[in-house]
């Protein structure tokens, strides 16, 4: 098995040109869930992608670039059925640039642990297909198949755990589902935060029309915070006890201490708030039971400069 050093050298050499930066034909797949059964294609697309202008779908329809179960679609009024496989053909696609400074922290026969940079999404989504963690790894290592077992936002840096085979993925996934995995994050926030505090607001299960999550109602969530360095901008450690999307960002915003660089949930976010830097949220460490040995293991990522300068 290659060492982490060898893997990192191969990444640096193989990602001089990002795979998504070379124009290609992207056949984006989207399965029709049962709850959409009986809708028209236009209604389904509007429900699944409310942020996309309907003119985009009409243009794709006119160009013969929408397919259902392998057949070209000719009308947005065509009904869809649960289980249909929709393909949106995007020609000459070039994806936005990402930070490709991905690094291996650990690898064995069952697990890969990475230090994820930002911005870099983990899974294909939206405008990103090849310029993702999975896409970058696949473009460099033909012999390496991995299965993500938890999420990190595209703009969040730090420890990311992936399984190397389905059995390990199931075992690790069960730990995350049971909330027995210990996760610690670091965040640089606006304002002088209290020594200890908690976020308990429920998190919406899905995004609103703007693509953001809310805390008006939703799934139960709990995050515990401890201020490591108070000041006009404070450094806090966060321990999420549940795994809701954008949980730490929302709980810090609701506490009056939004994360520095948070363009979605920061101050004046609706007015395109700019902090002058990246999202200051970092997955600092993770503790879990190894899927092969059942021994407790901990993995740590190097801390970013914005955290180190406050910690001294």
Residues 260, 280: contact at Cβ < 8 Å? yes
Which tokens hold the place of 189? Answer: 């926030």
Q: Pick the catalytic residue from 153, 155, 262, 284.
A: 153
- Nearest partner of 179 among 89, 240, 95, judged by Cα: 240
The answer to whether 198 and 225 are in contact (CB under 8 A) is yes
Identify whether 69 is a catalytic site residue.
no
Q: Transcribe 144-209 into DSSP letters.
A: ---EE-S---TT-EEEEEEESSHHHHHHHHHHHHHT--EEEEEEEEEB---SEEEE---B-SS--T
Q: What is the rounded radius of gyration, in angstroms, for the C-alpha atoms of the chain?
A: 21
Rounded Cα distance between 283 and 235, Å, is 13
Residues 188 and 306 sit within 8 Å (Cβ to Cβ): yes
CB atoms within 10 A of CB 27: 12
Beta strands in 176-301 (DSSP E): 182-190, 196-199, 223-229, 233-240, 281-289, 296-300
d(CA 269, CA 267): 5
- Alpha carbons within 13 angstroms on the beta-carbon side of residue 202 total 8
So which residues are the catalytic ones?
Answer: 153
């Amino acid at each position: 098995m290659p060492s982490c050093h060898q893997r990192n050298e191969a990444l640096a050499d193989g990602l001089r040109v990002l795979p998504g930066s070379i124009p290609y034909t992207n056949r984006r797949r989207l399965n029709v869930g049962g709850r959409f059964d009986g809708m028209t294609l236009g209604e389904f697309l509007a429900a699944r992608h409310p942020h996309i202008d309907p003119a985009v779908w009409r243009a794709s329809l006119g160009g013969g670039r929408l397919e259902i179960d392998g057949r070209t679609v000719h009308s947005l009024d065509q009904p869809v059925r649960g289980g249909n496989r929709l393909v949106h053909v995007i020609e000459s696609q070039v994806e936005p640039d990402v930070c490709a400074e991905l690094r291996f922290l650990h690898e064995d026969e069952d697990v890969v642990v990475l230090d994820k940079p930002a911005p870099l999404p983990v899974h294909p989504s939206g405008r990103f297909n090849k310029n993702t963690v999975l896409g970058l790894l696949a473009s460099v290592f033909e012999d390496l198949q991995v299965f993500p077992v938890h999420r990190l936002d595209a703009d969040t840096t730090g420890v990311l755990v992936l399984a190397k085979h389905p059995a390990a993925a199931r075992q690790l996934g069960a730990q995350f589902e049971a909330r027995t995995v210990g996760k610690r994050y670091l965040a640089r926030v606006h304002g002088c935060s209290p020594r200890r505090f908690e976020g308990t607001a429920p998190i919406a299960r899905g995004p609103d029309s703007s693509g953001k999550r809310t805390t008006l109602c939703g799934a139960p969530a709990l995050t515990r915070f401890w201020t490591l360095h108070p000041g006009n901008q404070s450094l806090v450690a966060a321990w999420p006890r549940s795994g809701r999307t954008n949980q730490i960002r929302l709980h810090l915003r609701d506490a009056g201490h939004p994360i520095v660089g948070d363009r979605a949930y920061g101050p004046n976010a609706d007015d395109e708030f700019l902090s002058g830097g990246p999202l200051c949220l970092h997955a600092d460490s993770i503790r879990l039971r190894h899927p092969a040995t059942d021994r407790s293991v901990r993995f740590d990522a190097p801390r970013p400069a914005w955290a180190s300068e406050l910690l001294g």
